[in-house]
Structure 1
Amino acid sequence: MTHPAFHPEFQAAPYWWDAAPPEDARDAPLPERADIAVIGSGFAGLSAALEAARGGADVVVLDGGPLGGGASSRSGGMVSSGQKLVLTAALADLPAAKQAAALEDSRATFEFLKALVAREGLDADLQLCGRFFGAFTSAHLDTLKRNAETLHARTGVTIRILSRDEQREEVGSAYFHGGFVVEDYGGVHPAKLNQALRGAARTAGARLFSHARVLGTERDGGGHQVTTERGTLRAAHVLFATNGYTDGASPWLRKRVLPVMSYQIATEMLPPGMMDRLIPRRRMVTDSRKELTYTRPSPDGTRILFGCRPRALDAAPERLALALRARMLRIWPELAPIRLTHAWGGFVAMTADRIPHIAEQDGVMHAAGCNGNGVALMTFLGWHAAQLMLGRTNRRAFFADIPFPAVPAPARGPWTVPLASAAYHLRDLAANPGEIMGERLGRPGRDATTPSSKEAQE
């Protein structure tokens, strides 16, 4: 890239892959049979493979591309429990008992991930650093306060509400209009977590195969025939854990998840002391826009990672990188002289009811629907799906005990996501036109208390 905002070594690839790249594992031929065939090598698939192999099953993991090349290693790596179920009111229409079960199991996902990392000794850069939720407008602050109170009451997480002046304890910027901090949340290095799960699954006895795209499955006596581009195998059980990368191999699941692309950028290493001004306590940071912004320090604290869906229409990551950068500079003008080293995208799986699901259809298990909150949830769902397939639990988690509705057919058309994204952009524009237009024009934010670009260079 020749634009001055790009570093000479800029890559249109995830920053995470520098430390833990996807893996080519196609040398060995596929086996003829297995107890369990797991389709997808993300957090859900690998967690399922680990649990099933630990239970003595012969497990095969199949991925259409390199292992760990999907959204699990492309995410922002933020870790929480079930705050989206509360903040999006996804549970509002459920009976009180179901709501309580949902929140109990949502809280359990975060605890499960922490326990898994500790038990297996996973090198995942897990940091329990908390998250700041920033108000995009002054009106949004009132909403965030109500959300914070609801979140505390329903999930028990530790909440601290901040005024606009107090927010500088968390974010060195006048961009937000206050917000709240959840102390109990954290972050991981998602590609390292995926890599570590691959290693743990193999150590437990699972066999992992890349570039083995599944073309379809069909009943075969008491089991299933799994047809791939590299051959066919028989399995007693099959789990689809393909999430936002679900294709025609599972028509049933494809009707139930809507893939939405989200994009991220990574800066070059910041000068000494800059991170102390931008995110003093090294929190995860998100905002209250309809088109959510999510940003964080890299696990080593040297870079800013910044994500959102900056335009209604998808495009190559390097083309959208400048739009992400414009939004980033509205928050931190001090970053103007800092160049970008990486830009990338990944598919998030949305569901009709905004709830993740484990579901069985025609003898095939499915775990999908992270709705942009997948690190802990999908890891938990894979583990629980393996337990259910092996009959190792008498309790079905909430996510496996409710119907999995299809996305209405008109909403599965090619223009659904762009139209929804455009509507979100318009709502953000109506809420705060000055900020949105500033981003469109590529103008840095105005904050007299942060150094100018020239001062930052000096």
Structure 2
Amino acid sequence: MARELFADGYRMTPYWQDIAPKVTLPDLALPPETDVLIVGAGYTGLNAALQTAGEGLGTLVLDAEHPGWGCSLRNGGQLSTSLKPSFATLAKRYGKELATQLCQEAQASLDYMHALSREDGIEMGLREVGRFHGAHKPHLYRKLEQECAAGHPVWKTDTFMVPKAEMAAELGTDAYHGGIVFPHHCSVDVSAYHPSLLNKALASGARVKGACRVLSIERLATGFEVQTSEGTVRTGKVILATNGYSGALSPWHQRRIIPIGSYVIATEELPKETVDRLFPTDRVLSDTRKLVYYYRLSPDRKRVLFGGRVSLSETDPRNSALKLHRDMTALFPELATVKISHAWMGFVGYTFDTLMHAGEDDGLYFAGGYCGSGVGMASYLGMRIGQKATGLEKTPSAFERIPFPTRPLYTGTPWFLAPSVLVYRMRDRLGI
């Protein structure tokens, strides 16, 4: 039965990578020096490059794989205001003023994506489709109802509730006890965004080179010496833009970023009548589980893209695909015999405080730890640190002003992940 769930031509590569336009990079010999060297050619690095190259700084962007190989072409293409902690939690940690500024920048990340799409001509198929967030237990619906009534002290959410009796207008499943809609959340076409962003960075004057792994970064009296798999480059400034793929390049950051595997499947193409019945809207979708599902239709409304955290350890995507298919079928029994065309995984950069972070250490800039909300926030914080590297931005981001915590004994290998997932799985069953 497991073999029968995989379509002919099944691929263990992201659906987005299969359909994305191919960008041909110019042949580039590694220069001996540059003004700014950016490690990572994903959303963070390329948005930073738009700023530094746009201001005339010699900008070199290096990636260990081909640009976009990481989560920039592996994600679910969902946009929100990005923050996981509530305002009350943030205010308790940092005070109301800084909590407000964090929320304002979270909103700014969504606004920035609209600006990239509308004003900067970057193709991303951005649509304000809204998010339906389902309650998987009755008491969690009541909790969402209370949050909806209370509103948010910073954001104008315009949220509204969908009771179980009206679910058919939102989603063709009996698995939820109603839910809440965030009408300003958006979807993007992942296959369009990264190639368009890469072309924009190249047009701005940035030099981009793939298959060139950065091996070490050594601080000099002035600037840095960067060892790569193709030679050495001297640079005045370095921007680390590697997020969940940071590794041992910077031990300080490695101790603060937790790489967590997230898994996604794409179904084979579905009949239009099935799609219209199960997904009458084009919303992006999630639910109240701690081990959250995130899912949506493909931009052409022909496939379901269904993602989540389903493994206690990082495994072959083919194995996780069967678990995701089972969970998808629990929500939509009608899809039980639908086959899987693609299955893939990527590493989300998580943090111990569930917040993203940015900063600088005397010419070494970074942004990361997006906690699963990287499409908008990686783009925005990449832009902010790029501006900072140019010297134009003198005001620190709120995400630079909060402590970046680690934990004793953590050196980059999340040994605590398996027991944590088990605990969250139990909490999901109980709805706590």
Same fold? TM cut 0.5: yes
Quote the residue 2:275 is aligned against.
275
Counterparts of 1:22 and 1:344 in 2: how far apart (Å)? 19
For 1:374 and 1:22, how far apart are their aligned partners in 2?
Answer: 22
Map of 2:78 onto structure 1: 78
Instruction: Name whichever of 85-94 and 139-148 sits farther off.
Output: 85-94
Q: Write the distance in 1 (CA, Å) between the matches of 2:211 and 2:125.
A: 28
Q: 2 CA distance for matches of 1:302 and 1:101?
A: 40
Corresponding residue of 2:359 = 359
Q: What are structure 2's unaligned runs of at least 5 residues?
A: none
The residue identity in structure 1 corresponding to 2:307 is G
Query: Compared with structure 1, are the counterparts of its residues 103 and 389 closer, same or farther at alpha carbon in structure 2 (3 Å cutoff)?
Result: same
- Please give the alpha-carbon distance, in whole angstroms, between the structure 2 residues aligned to 1:408 and 1:362: 26
- Paired with 1:92 and 1:11, the residues of 2 have a C-alpha distance of 46
One-letter amino acid matched to 2:357: H
Q: What is the count of residue pairs matched by the alignment?
A: 432
Q: Secondary structure at the match of 2:36?
A: strand
1:65 paired to 2:65 = yes
Cα RMSD between the aligned structures? 2.0
Q: Determine the C-alpha separation between the residues in 2 that align with 1:358 and 1:179.
A: 33
Preserved CA contact (<8 Å) 2:90 2:99: no
Superposed CA offset, 1:234-274 (max 9, x none): 11110001000001111111111000000000011110222
Give matches, 1:306-321, under 5 Å. Answer: 306-321=306-321
* Distance in 2 between residues matched to 1:242 and 1:67, nearest whole Å: 12
Q: Judge conservation of contact 2:133–2:180 (CA < 8 Å) in 1.
A: yes
Task: Tell me the equivalent position of 1:124.
Answer: 124
How far did 1:136 drift?
Answer: 0.9
Gaps of at least 5 residues in structure 1 are 433-458
What is aligned with 2:379?
A: 379
Q: 1:397 deviation in Å?
A: 1.8
Measured in 2, the distance between the counterparts of 1:334 and 1:315 equals 27
- 1:320 Cα offset (Å): 1.1
Q: Deviations over 1:257-308 (max 9, x none)?
A: 0000000000111102222111111100100011001110111111110001
The residue that corresponds to 1:259 in the other structure is 259
The answer as to 2:70 corresponding to 1:52 is no
The secondary structure found in structure 2 opposite 1:367 is: strand
After superposing the two structures, state which structure 1 stretch, 333-342 or 396-405, moved more.
396-405
* Cα distance in 2 for residues equivalent to 1:354 and 1:420: 14
Q: For the residues of structure 2 that align with 1:410 and 1:380, how far apart are their CA atoms?
A: 28
Q: CA 1:45/1:327 → structure 2, altered by over 3 Å: closer, same or farther? A: same
Aligned residue number for residue 211 of structure 1 = 211
| 2:265/2:343 contact within 8 Å kept | yes
Indicate conservation of the 8 Å contact 2:255/2:411, yes or no: no
Distance 1:410 1:245 in 2: 16
- The alignment status of 1:341 with 2:309, answered yes or no, reads no
Measured in 2, the distance between the counterparts of 1:221 and 1:285 equals 50
1: distance between equivalents of 2:4 and 2:88? 39
Query: Residues 147 and 72 from structure 1, CA distance in 2 versus in 1: closer, same or farther, beyond 3 angstroms?
Result: farther
1:298 alignment partner AA? S
Q: CA deviation at 1:324?
A: 0.3
What amino acid does structure 2 have at the position aligned with 1:116? L
Q: Is the 8 A contact 2:291 2:309 kept in 1?
A: yes
**Residue of structure 2 in register with 1:445 after alignment:** none
The 1:144–1:399 alpha-carbon spacing in structure 2 relative to 1, beyond 3 Å, is same
8 Å contact kept, 1:351–1:407: no
- The alpha carbon displacement at 1:189 in A equals 1.8
Note the C-alpha offset of 1:409. Answer: 2.6
Aligned identity (percent) is 34
Q: Distance in 2 between matches of 1:413 and 1:233?
A: 29
Moved more, 50-59 or 358-367: 358-367
Per-residue CA deviations over 1:90-138 (Å, capped at 9, x if unaligned) read 5541111001101111101000111012222122121110000000111
Aligned to 1:438: none
Instruction: Sort the Cα spacing of 1:2 and 1:290 in 2 relative to 1 into closer, same or farther, 3 A.
Output: closer
Q: Is the 8 A contact 1:23 1:66 kept in 2?
A: no
C-alpha contact 1:152 1:158 (8 A) present in aligned 2: no
Check the 8 A contact 1:26/1:210 in 2, yes or no.
no
Deviations 1:299-319 (CA, angstroms, capped at 9, x unpaired): 111111000111322210011
Task: Determine helix, strand or coil for the equivalent of 1:113.
Answer: helix
Per-residue CA shift, 1:373-428, capped at 9, x if unaligned? Answer: 11111100000001111111232221122222224434854421112111111212
How far apart in 2 are the matches of 1:119 and 1:409? 46
Counterpart for residue 392 of structure 1: 392
- Alpha carbons 2:79, 2:188 under 8 Å: kept: yes
